[in-house]
Amino acid sequence: MNIHPTAIVAPGAVVPESCIVGPYCTIGPNVVLGENCELVSHVVLDGHLTVGARNRFFPFACVGVAPQDLKYKGEPTGVTLGDDNTIRESVTISRGTVGGGGTTRVGSNCLIMAYAHIGHDSVVGDHCILANAATLAGHVFVESYAVVGALNQVHQFCRIGKYAYLGGGTTVTQDVLPFSLTSAKRETHAFSVNKVGLERRGFTKEQLKSIQYAYRVLLAAKLNTSQAIERLKSEGVATDDVTYLVEFIESAERGIHK
């Protein structure tokens, strides 16, 4: 069997010969792995955990660990994973609780990105993506083909409908409609020049004056971005810093925060 000598596999664990268990992994006594799974390194699999075939676990993933629930008293609850999932670095998937049915479930063909968390008794369908640091509280249902964006927070007992796409940084406190694009309101603005930071980097008073003027044209002259750029060009403001600012804006493919 391809088990690194530093790995610890408890008696009772089921690890097929086709699996790869990398350095410093820990597999508990009630874990059952399917064929052709890979634990890259430093992976912890615990609890009554049943894993399908061809799952790949990256370093520091912890699956089947005790739920973050004060009511949990060590009951023999578990986690099930389907086939062909990718569990990236430092992902945590908590096992279920007696009050929630006892099992946390993840389907097949899911990508769970680094630092994502799937709380106890949650259910994730097939072909789902949880982006970096997406966080599901307990009892969350994510239906198949849904995408939960980076840094999303999903309140307990909420549902994410099929094919929904959640924008990054969105906090979810109610059910998300199937087929929808759902995102928190974006109100990011450029308020002013980073004057203190530029001074600390050695920018001269003349440099700061030219940058501050350019920002007044961009932000306070009641011009749209294209008009502001044309005004800066027509006025012949040709310092290196302002030229760089103009070129940066003109090369933006997704627009700018203004």
Catalytic center residues: 120-121, 138
Q: How far is residue 34's CA from residue 108's CA, in Å, rounded to a whole number?
A: 13
Number of alpha carbons in the 13 Å side-chain half-sphere of residue 184: 16
On whether the CB atoms of residues 199 and 184 are closer than 8 A, the answer is no
User: Would you state the structure tokens that stand for residue 210, as one six-digit string?
Assistant: 């030219």
Q: How far is residue 81's CA from residue 60's CA, in Å, rounded to a whole number?
A: 17
User: Would you state the structure tokens that stand for residue 69, as one six-digit string?
Assistant: 């629930």
Q: How far is residue 58's CA from residue 114's CA, in Å, rounded to a whole number?
A: 9
- The residues, ordered by sequence, that sit 6+ positions from 47 with a Cβ below 8 Å of its Cβ are 28, 30, 31, 64, 65, 66, 76, 77, 78, 79, 95
